[in-house]
Amino acid sequence: MRPIIKVEHLGKRYRIGAREPYRTIRDSIMRTAAAPWRRLRSRLASGEPRANASEMWALKDVSFEVAPGEVLGVIGRNGAGKSTLLKVLSRITEPTTGRVELYGRVGSLLEVGTGFHPELTGRENIFLSGAIMGMRRIEIARKFDQIVAFAEIEQFVDTPVKRYSSGMYVRLAFAVAAHLDPEILLIDEVLAVGDAAFQKKCLGKMGEVAREGRTVLFVSHSTAAIEALCSACLMFTGGRLAGRGTPLDVLSQYVAAGADLGSGERSLAQHPGRPSHHVPTMTRVELRSVGPAPTGAVRMGAPLEIRVSYAASRPLRPVLGAVVKTNYGASVFCASDRFCDQLIFCDPLEHGTVVCTIEKIPLMPGSYTIDLYFGDSNGDIDVIFEATSFEVLAADVTGSGRLPPASGGPIYCDAKWVLVDDEPIKVGP
């Protein structure tokens, strides 16, 4: 199957502090005529382009293909090159090196109101945007009522868009981009503006567009939205393509690259968090999640194993407690066998490994530490504060593509919701 988007060795260079020179029509014609030779020269050129102190490469040697109907997420830190990529694909800016092949009508939402004329009304901008995409007036008119209803601007459709609020702007821009039937839809941070109801509507519409077999490139910092919507994901770092794969694999790589994650294992023999009056008994701690290897990153709702090895001076039935705390030192929850006696029938051992398993970690994304309390039925023998740390990664635990707000606290509650139709209350005799 032929890809609908093909990007080969794409590069975009900006000259810092330089202004684009003025060109006459003659210059533009000459530049267009020479374009095939420039592309050929860029293909034959070998080695890295020479860097200049006044130059910045927003994109460098980027190559990938997108199949028809694929929903591709694009993620990366600020300045990684994501928005520049979409501007090149939208033909807003031309590449410095490489080439892009697009096979289909392109609709794009890059910034709030991009492509709108501020002096024109909402109605006029809808028809203007459709005409720019190559649609006939009758095609645009057929979609007009759906666009206005989705954007919720019925009352203001004949008002110049320069008087729209930012929310009205982005609602109309998204509605136009999504409803005018492009084969390729490019969306850059559409969820950065708007309330929760609008975000839900956008996610639903993008899912509908994807199910119709159209191709979507979705740039976002919302890892939950990318996981919910996308079938594949790209990660950009410093203008280069740093990873491609399933959303789960790439998002884990993305969060891990930006966090100071440990290896998930640590020696406890000489740990500085052990008070001086406690007997060194715990020797090692490991954190595991979905695989057999230690990890310092756990996805929301995934299992977490806390494995603590010990070596005691006498045989004992171990009791292990783990207190999970936020980075600010506030306790979030405690898991301890002292209150459930699950190890009470084990044979006493001088050394071994105690494994505490939490089936679904109920934590919001962020960094956490663990205090460990080790002892027997008589009390604690060894205590280590901040014995280890781990990172919780965002995941689409609800299936909606959205996360609960961080203001709700570090714990998320996996609740079930039903609506009960009660009998009406009778009033009077």
Per-residue confidence (pLDDT) for residue 335, from 0 to 100: 92
What is the separation of C-alpha 148 from the centre of its chain, rounded to a whole number of angstroms? 29
Per-residue confidence (pLDDT) for residue 236, from 0 to 100: 92
> What domains appear along the chain, each with residue ranges and CATH number?
5-258 (3.40.50.300), 265-408 (2.70.50.60)
34 has pLDDT over 60 = yes
DSSP 300-366: TT--EEEEEEEEEEEEE--EEEEEEEETTS-EEEEEEGGGT-TTTTSPPEEEEEEEEEESS--B-SE
Per-residue confidence (pLDDT) for residue 194, from 0 to 100: 56
Range with the largest mean pLDDT of 4-8, 109-113, 205-209: 4-8
137 has pLDDT over 80 = yes
112 has pLDDT over 60 = no
When pLDDT is averaged across residues 229-245 and rounded to a whole number, the result is 89
Query: Where would I find the H helices in 99-215?
Result: 122-132, 137-151, 166-179, 196-211
Per-residue confidence (pLDDT) for residue 263, from 0 to 100: 72
Per-residue confidence (pLDDT) for residue 429, from 0 to 100: 62
How many whole angstroms separate alpha carbon 373 and alpha carbon 324?
12
Q: What is the pLDDT of residues 39-68, one digit of tens each?
A: 666 555 544 445 454 788 899 999 999 998
How many whole angstroms separate alpha carbon 375 and alpha carbon 44?
69
Q: What is the pLDDT of residues 377-412, one digit of tens each?
A: 888 999 999 899 998 888 877 777 777 777 678 888
How many whole angstroms separate alpha carbon 170 and alpha carbon 112?
5
Cα distance from N-terminal residue to C-terminal residue, the chain: 73
299 phi/psi in degrees, rounded to 5: -75, 150
Per-residue confidence (pLDDT) for residue 190, from 0 to 100: 60
Per-residue confidence (pLDDT) for residue 306, from 0 to 100: 95
How many whole angstroms separate alpha carbon 29 and alpha carbon 179?
35
Q: What is the pLDDT of residues 221-235, one digit of tens each?
A: 777 678 777 889 999
Q: What is the pLDDT of residues 316-369, one digit of tens each?
A: 999 999 999 987 778 899 999 888 888 888 889 999 999 999 999 999 888 899
When pLDDT is averaged across residues 64-74 and rounded to a whole number, the result is 90
The mean pLDDT of the chain is: 82
pLDDT band, very low/low/confident/very high, at 159 (cuts 50, 70, 90) = very high
Q: Is the pTM of this model over 0.95?
A: no
154 has pLDDT over 50 = yes
How many whole angstroms separate alpha carbon 184 and alpha carbon 272?
56
When pLDDT is averaged across residues 253-259 and rounded to a whole number, the result is 66
Per-residue confidence (pLDDT) for residue 46, from 0 to 100: 45
